[in-house]
């Protein structure tokens, strides 16, 4: 039986993946690392601790990694965060989840201050019971730390009693390492095949599509027992 839903945020609840990719691309270029946009974009969903080693050597990480991540955060908040918009029907989906008696937590690779803004953008501030951010995890996705922290805060909920909803392969990989199953959304722009390969048990276009198909989704009480036994 499902007791809780743990939602990713970027690309799942708010349309921010392209903007994060642009901010990282700009920050990398500022430090002399010119990387194609699509290569950067495919890494969004990871925190900086897991993204930067893809493009920087150990020597570069030691030399300017911390400064680069700080610069990325500054330009994102200044130039890109004001452009982030919520996806349609996110609040309605959360309201449906709450009506079904399920608990809601957020688990994001974003910093805590960014997460606060995202909740406001998505209009879900009053519907979230627990949340974890990059500040609560030693390592970001695809490591399981953030989801494990969310489960700890959802006292009394076991991994088999919760689903993750996310948009990247890194969500599914991290969730799987924490013993959680993942519902994938395509709002972040990752290929459906990649989400399935990473372990997503069901895939929907976006929050609105999941809401429209809720009764036959793994979140529905009559479907959850079957999904849990797969």
How many helices (H) does the chain have, and how many strands (E)?
A: 12, 8
Residue 22's closest CA among 103, 106, 96, 84? Answer: 84
Residues 66, 104 within the same domain: no
pLDDT tens across the length of the chain (230 residues) = 999 999 999 999 999 999 999 999 999 999 999 999 999 999 999 999 999 999 999 999 999 999 999 999 999 999 999 999 999 999 999 999 999 999 999 999 888 889 999 999 999 999 999 999 988 999 999 999 999 999 999 999 999 999 999 999 999 999 999 999 999 999 999 999 999 999 999 999 999 999 999 999 999 965 444 444 44
Residues 8, 61 within the same domain: no
Residues 107, 221 within the same domain: yes
Mean pLDDT of all residues belonging to the chain: 95
- Chosen domain end from 83, 108, 141: 83
Residues 107, 21 within the same domain: no
Tokens 């990989």 correspond to what residue?
Answer: 173
Residues 134, 60 within the same domain: no
CB atoms within 10 A of CB 31: 16
| Contact between residue 10 and residue 20 where contact means Cβ atoms under 8 Å apart | yes
**pLDDT at position 56, please?**
98
Helix axes 145-153, 169-177, angle to 10 degrees: 60
Residues 118, 62 within the same domain: no
Distance CA 62, CA 60 (A): 5
Residues 55, 169 within the same domain: no
**pLDDT at position 51, please?**
97
Q: Residue 188 maps to which CATH number?
A: 3.40.50.1000
- For 87, which DSSP code? P
- Phi and psi dihedrals of 122, rounded to 5? -80, -5
Residues 91, 186 within the same domain: yes
- Token representation of residue 149: 């922290």
**pLDDT at position 135, please?**
87
Helix axes 66-75, 17-30, angle to 10 degrees: 130
Give 23-40 as a DSSP string.
HHHHHHHHTT----HHHH
- Chosen domain end from 55, 83, 111: 83
SS3 content of the chain, % helix, strand, coil (to 5): 55, 15, 30
Distance CA 101, CA 123 (A): 20
Residues 91, 201 within the same domain: yes
| Contact between residue 204 and residue 185 where contact means Cβ atoms under 8 Å apart | yes
Distance CA 8, CA 71 (A): 24
Measured over the CA atoms of residue 99, residue 216, residue 159 and residue 7, the dihedral's sign is: negative
Residues 57, 153 within the same domain: no
Residues 89, 163 within the same domain: yes
Residues 106, 213 within the same domain: yes
Question: Total structural domains in the chain?
Answer: 2
Distance CA 139, CA 93 (A): 29
- Chosen domain end from 66, 83, 100: 83
**pLDDT at position 132, please?**
94
- For 85, which DSSP code? E
Look up the domain containing 60 and give its range.
17-83
**pLDDT at position 111, please?**
84
């Amino acid at each position: 039986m499902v007791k809780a839903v743990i939602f990713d945020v970027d690309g799942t609840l708010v349309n921010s993946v392209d903007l994060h990719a642009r901010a990282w691309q700009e920050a990398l270029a500022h430090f002399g690392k010119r990387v194609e946009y699509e290569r950067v974009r495919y890494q969004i969903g990871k925190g900086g601790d897991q993204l930067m080693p893809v493009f920087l050597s150990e020597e570069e990480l030691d030399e300017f990694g911390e400064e680069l991540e700080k610069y990325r955060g500054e330009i994102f908040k200044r130039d890109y965060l004001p452009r982030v918009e919520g996806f349609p029907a996110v609040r309605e989906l959360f309201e449906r989840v709450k009506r079904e008696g399920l608990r809601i937590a957020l688990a994001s690779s974003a910093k805590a201050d960014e997460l606060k803004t995202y909740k406001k953008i998505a209009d879900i501030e009053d519907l979230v019971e627990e949340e974890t951010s990059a500040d609560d995890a030693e390592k970001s996705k695809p490591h399981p730390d953030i989801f494990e922290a969310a489960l700890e805060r959802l006292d009394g909920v076991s991994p088999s009693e919760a689903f993750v909803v996310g948009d990247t392969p890194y969500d599914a990989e991290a969730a799987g390492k924490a013993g959680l199953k993942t519902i994938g959304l395509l709002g972040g722009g990752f290929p459906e095949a990649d989400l399935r390969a990473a372990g997503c048990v069901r895939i929907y276009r976006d929050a609105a599509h999941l809401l429209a198909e809720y009764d036959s989704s793994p979140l529905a009480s009559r479907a959850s027992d079957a999904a849990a036994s797969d």
